[in-house]
Structure 1
Amino acid sequence: MEKESVTGLILAGGTGRRFGSDKARAVVAGRPMIERVYRVVAPVAGTVLLSVRPGQEDYGLPVRRVEDPVEGAGPLAGLLAGLEAAETPWLLAVACDLPFLSEDILRTLLAACRPGLDAVVPRTPDGRLHPLCAAYATTVRPVVAEQLAAGRRALHALLDRLGAVRLVDVPAAPLRNINRPDDLPTDLR
């Protein structure tokens, strides 16, 4: 897929309660996690957005900030902000706590995008779906808005509401997210 058809969205609006601080700033192998994620999203997307809480910074990245429309509503609010701002057919939404993510995984997801699909979601060998690293057709915006308005904030519940979701099998290691400092290998801190 041509990168001009894709808007990247880095989801960074969380409070880092489990991490104990702003995990986007946590350094992994010499770089903040959010910078590592940006460096794999930027080559595959024509534009990169950063979803943040109202008043939150942009981390010095060359991105356009979009604020969550409902504060404290989690990644679903960030996804809606990205869908509302995107001017492309596809939105590639990626959480900021995926420091091992590779450009190859993102290209694999985007290669599976087709007209008529609502989302392309990676599935790891353990059967887990990863909606926080997925491609969403921007036409799903009304469904996301409805879910958020109804207080149904889980992204897995959103996937259940979407009509055409393609699952793409990928290895688990690149989608390993970091929720607590102990999740980081000691040799990469």
Structure 2
Amino acid sequence: MVKWAAVLAGGASRRMAERGNKLLLPREPGGIPMAGHVVRVAESVAPRVAVLYADESVRSAVEPWLTGEIAWMKDEECYQGPLAALGRFAAREPSDVSPLLVLAGDLPGISTDAVRSLVDALTRTGADVAAAEREGRMQPLVAVYAERAVRAIADAAARGEKRILKALEGLSICTVAFDDAWAVRPVHRPEDYEAWLTREGKA
């Protein structure tokens, strides 16, 4: 069981060019914005969900699609990277927000089952972090963090560290791989979004 989920929705989407803010793109034509889907998945696992956002357009576009009570936390020091945003959230009191589920807002294929696999891995292994693995690499923005890791994030952000992997050095980390390539694949560029929309076997 996690106490909180934090959905990161504060990026500038510079690589999306004419597509604009990827978080606002519909997961399916005419459907829920991508970030809204991620928040719904977070709600299915965590009793409390915070959306860490920078642009009011994100809240305006996503909020109408949600029915639960969401903690909307506008980042007044935005565009400094995910570690800075998470550090400000975690600094309140790490024990109060951990275990903490962290999800990037640009994951159109994320599912409740995938997130539960991460939660189960953290519980089963007793690791400090249970993170998704994609293409052989740990994905720190699709992960569950135990209290020790949440404290490490808060401390690293406070001292000005910018790299989240650096903040996790020395901690025990288990990774979970998924058969579905889109289970934890983010959208960074327009071609990623096109690949999602035209994926094989889509529902």
Which residue identity is paired with 1:52? Answer: Y
User: What SS does the aligned partner of 2:149 have?
Assistant: helix
Which residue identity is paired with 1:6? Answer: K
Aligned-pair Cα RMSD in Å? 2.6
Q: 1:163 aligns with which of 156, 166, 171?
A: 171
User: What SS does the aligned partner of 1:157 have?
Assistant: helix
Aligned residue for 1:25?
A: 24
Aligned residue for 2:137?
A: 128
Aligned residue for 1:49?
A: 50
User: What SS does the aligned partner of 2:186 have?
Assistant: coil
Give the TM-score normalised by structure 2: 0.78
1:69 positional shift:
6.9
Q: 2:186 aligns with which of 173, 177, 187?
A: 177
Cα distance, 1:187–1:131 mapped onto 2, change above 3 Å: closer
* C-alpha contact (below 8 Å) 2:129/2:145 kept by paired residues: yes
Cα distance, 1:78–1:162 mapped onto 2, change above 3 Å: farther
Which residue identity is paired with 2:10? Answer: G
Mapped pair 1:13 → 2:10: yes
User: What SS does the aligned partner of 1:71 have?
Assistant: coil
The CA deviation string for residues 8-61 of structure 1, in whole angstroms up to 9 with x for no partner, is 111001111112322110112122101111121111111110012386753314
Structure 1 unaligned regions, length at least 5: none
* C-alpha contact (below 8 Å) 2:86/2:154 kept by paired residues: no
Mapped pair 1:147 → 2:156: yes
Aligned residue for 2:85?
A: 78
Q: 1:90 aligns with which of 99, 109, 123?
A: 99
User: What SS does the aligned partner of 1:135 have?
Assistant: strand
User: What SS does the aligned partner of 2:122 have?
Assistant: coil
* C-alpha contact (below 8 Å) 1:9/1:94 kept by paired residues: yes
Aligned residue for 1:109?
A: 118
Q: How many residues align?
A: 184
Aligned residue for 2:201?
A: none
Counterpart-to-counterpart distance in 2, 1:10 and 1:65: 10
Cα distance, 1:88–1:186 mapped onto 2, change above 3 Å: closer
* C-alpha contact (below 8 Å) 1:67/1:81 kept by paired residues: no
Give the TM-score normalised by structure 1: 0.83
* C-alpha contact (below 8 Å) 2:53/2:75 kept by paired residues: yes
* C-alpha contact (below 8 Å) 1:6/1:44 kept by paired residues: no
- Aligned-pair identity in percent equals 30
